[in-house]
Amino acid sequence: MNKKTANEQTKLNLLLVANRNHLSRGDLRSLIRFLESEDCGFDVNLQFSDPKEQPELLELHKLVAIPALIKIDPKPKQIFAGTSIFEQIQNWLPRWEKEEVLISGLGINVRHSDVETIRTRKELLLEDENLVLRQENETLADQIESQERLLRMVAHELRTPLSAAKLAVQSQSLGQIDISRLQEVIKRRLDEIESLSNDLLEVGTTRWEALCNPQKTNLAHVAAEVILELEKYWLSRGIGINTDIPTDLPKVFADQRRMRQVLLNLIENALKFSKSGDTVEIGILHRTNQWVQVSICDKGPGIPNDEQQRIFLDRVRLPQTSSQTSGFGIGLSVCRRIVEVHGGKIWVVSDPGKGSCFYFTVPVWDNQNKSSQPLTQG
């Protein structure tokens, strides 16, 4: 079948909601090239929007994940998200082309065939609208289920510091501890509750791109500040820290505050699961021209093999490993979201009984703030 000329092609208005890191992905670049080529079969008007600059779009289109491609016109509106947007679009194009043929067949004289055409077009539109509704219902159901899991976990998380504080008050009233010790326990438990509250607020948000402002960042300095901030904690517990951070480490393209948050969470976890005399190893390596890799290793109890795949999931909490530790909470979910929104990866390698190593990657600074070149290049 001959390809249609530009004048014969139906217009297709699309909006791609993605940040700069997403647009560097190979699948999205392939999608953009395809939509701008003649093979697409439509006259595509593709617009781009960065959710950091236009966060209102997330609410307007009820987006629960990005990157997302939105078919604005022809109606009905459809939203494609996830890691297979290109594949989803390729599956839908034949249906849109069929709908285009049906629409173009509507003549002024309404004959029997035209009535059938109208009916078929309406059926297609209804089917598309039903699909959109099903997608929205599934998303809503997932959100409700996640909120229920979150509430159950909040109750569990809060019970631990509250029970410890209550026990400390009882011990002080019985003369088993003095008032200074009571104040120390209460302050530590309140700090735990505050930290939990902050994590919960951030896990619940869907606007991570709007919360991150990546810039040219000295990751080595950020790590040094975090280690110094925790100095009293690790020295008082008799734990050592070894660092392997080269002086010629390149700058990274990251939000400094969020990188500090990831490092603080991972290093605190490593210290929490370490014993007196243990050493926590912190390393930052320039793995490739595009990525810097960070590692935080401890000699703690490790993570069960069947839990290592779940540890970074939203609202998943692993059980405590001893009476002195409270277990991995939702902080790791926050870390995963921060790392992924920067385009990096985070993972754990753990040997139960021997310790754990957490790794994550951050993109190297490469003049990302220069005027953007056409998205389909490079």
DSSP label of 44: E
For the domain 212-378, what is the CATH code?
3.30.565.10
**Architecture of 11-104 per CATH?**
3-Layer(aba) Sandwich (3.40)
| Poorest-pLDDT segment among 46-55, 154-163, 239-248, 339-348 | 154-163
Instruction: Provide the token pair at 171.
Output: 């011990």
Tokens of 247: 């002086």
Structural contact between residues 356 and 303, judged by C-beta atoms closer than 8 angstroms: yes
Look up residue 250 and give its DSSP letter.
P
285 SS3 class: strand
Q: What is the pLDDT of residues 41-69, one digit of tens each?
A: 788 888 888 877 777 776 677 666 678 88
Query: CA-CA distance, 272 to 326, in Å (whole number)?
Result: 9
- pLDDT at position 257 is 85
Query: What number of residues does the chain have?
Result: 378
pLDDT at 245: 93
pLDDT band at 223 (very low <50, low <70, confident <90, very high): very high
| Domain range 114-208, CATH class | mainly alpha
Q: What is the dihedral of CA 255, 259, 265, 271, to 10 degrees?
A: -160
pLDDT at 316 over 60: no
Stretch among 150-159, 198-207, 209-218 having the lowest mean pLDDT: 198-207
Single pTM value for the model: 0.51
The better pLDDT of the pair 218, 318 is held by: 218
Q: Where are the domains of the chain?
A: 11-104, 114-208, 212-378
24: pLDDT strictly greater than 60: yes
Distance, in Å, from the CA atom of 355 to the CA atom of 332, rounded to the nearest integer, reads: 17
Q: Which residues are 46's β-sheet partners?
A: 14
Which two structure tokens, joined as six digits, stand for 331?
């902080």
| Pure H helices in 36-111 | 56-60, 85-104
Distance CA 377, CA 254 (A): 23
| Rounded percentage of the chain residues whose pLDDT exceeds 70 | 67
Q: Is the pLDDT of residue 87 over 80?
A: yes
Return the structure tokens found at 215. 């810039």
Instruction: List, for residues 92-132, the tens digit of each pLDDT value.
Output: 888 777 655 444 444 444 444 444 455 555 665 666 666 66
The C-alpha atoms of residue 164 and residue 115 are separated, in whole angstroms, by 74
Average model confidence (pLDDT) across the chain = 76
The residue with greater pLDDT, 168 or 129, is: 168
> Within 13 A of 268's CA, how many CA atoms are on the CB side?
19
